[in-house]
Amino acid sequence: MGALWIANVEVTDEAAYGEYAKLATEAIAAHGGVFLARGGTYVQLEGNDRARNVVVRFPSLEAAVACYNSPTYTEARGFAQDASIRDLVVVEEIAS
């Protein structure tokens, strides 16, 4: 079953976050991830408003978690840590 990686982000340092994005994109692709939404227009209906919203589909929950724990994504997180405020969750898709 596939899984969705959902991130809600407020970027506080564009330059450092740009470095994060380069490495994160590489790690995500290496683990079979495909971007469904990356920024773009949105409507905040509830909760914390964070202007950057990202949704990635992975082939499985395990692939998404492996991506997060990979050396490349770990390096990417180092750039994001002080360059953003973010929430990240991975949720397994339901069988259709």
pLDDT given at position 76? 96
Report all structural domains of the chain as residue ranges with CATH numbers, in order of start.
3-92 (3.30.70.100)
* Predicted model pTM: 0.91
Q: Provide CB contacts within 8 A for 87, sequence distance 6+.
A: 7, 8, 9, 48, 50
Query: What's the distance, CA 64 to chain centroid?
Result: 10
- pLDDT, one tens digit per residue, over 40-81 is 899 999 999 999 999 999 999 999 999 999 999 999 999 999
Give per-residue pLDDT as tens, 4-15: 999 999 999 999
Quote the pLDDT of residue 42. 93
pLDDT value of residue 37: 96
Provide mean pLDDT across the span 20-26.
96
The Cα-based distances of 41 to 4, 35, 38, 64, 91 in angstroms read: 19, 15, 10, 25, 22
